[in-house]
Amino acid sequence: IKMGPRTATKKTREAKEANWNRLQDLLTNNKKALFVDVDNVSSLQLTKIRAALRKINADMIMGKNTLMKASLNRYLTKPEEGDFDYEQRKDSFKERPELNVVLGLLKANTGIIFTNGDLGEIKEILDSETRGAPAKAGSIAPDDVWIRAGPTGLDPKQTSFFQTLNIQTKINKSQVEIIQEKRIINAGDKVEATHAALLDKLKITPFSYKMRVVSVYDDGKIINPSILDIKPEDIIKSFSKSIRTMASVSLGSGYVVKAAVPHLIGNAFKNLVGVTFETDFTFKQADEMKKAAASGPAVAAG
């Protein structure tokens, strides 16, 4: 059956309504979300990411920002008699002023991943789905691009490409060899046609694209996404360093804090043992240390 324009319009409207309701359901049932930039992310990457997210009870939603904002605004508005969705929302509505910050995050090509679980686990999934990409003329470079020193496999007739970009070369064994590495593109620069042509000849795929986290939402708070790169071992290491610093300051100043107590007890014990070596006073633990010292290897005279 041939689908007419009215049928297509109906399907589009139904899809928008489904996204509208789904966003509101996700806002109701989740307290955490990652806002992600999906520029240059392929449909295959999206499919794999969605499948992986479902396994950890996380949901990703994407749509036009105007629709998403309209749905969110409606969700935040108290229902009143006469509204088209009054009966649907009157019993479930709750004041959620903390969600107002979300409106400012819906811009450009942004998707939202909702969860009540571990945000770091989601970040690992996003980082695992990375694809290599060639440099295309006119595109914006996401990273610096370097041409490394060494043989290129290109015949001497290709030296003009390198001369145009001021890359020093020599002819070695009938092929062009780069003398010194050179950065030809800076991150954020527009890729020139000469850059793209040279990289293509060298068979270099300089860029990689993945879903990038731009903001983290956690129960009403917006957090810098760099927090997702902090591992538990990093926290333990930092905490241990702080405890050692507190103990050192305490021992040096004489102001006792809890972190210094083990050191104070240890030092006091050493002092007591030292006294037993010089006097008749002794105790069980000191006797054991004396026996260990007596049975140890003799120290040669200096």
End-to-end C-alpha distance for the chain, whole angstroms: 104
pLDDT per residue of the chain (302 residues) written in tens, 0 to 9: 333 344 447 777 778 888 888 888 898 899 999 999 888 888 899 999 999 999 999 999 988 888 888 888 888 888 888 888 788 887 888 888 888 888 888 888 889 999 999 998 999 999 999 888 888 888 888 888 888 899 988 888 888 878 888 888 888 888 888 998 889 888 888 988 888 888 888 888 888 888 899 999 988 888 888 888 777 777 788 778 888 888 788 878 877 788 878 888 888 888 888 888 788 788 788 788 777 777 766 555 44
Please give the Cα distance from 237 to 52 (Å, whole number).
31
Q: Where would I find the H helices in the chain? A: 5-29, 43-55, 65-76, 86-89, 100-103, 119-128, 159-164, 193-201, 232-253, 261-278, 284-295
Q: How many CB atoms lie within 10 A of CB 254?
A: 7
Count of C-beta atoms within a 10 Å radius of residue 57 = 11
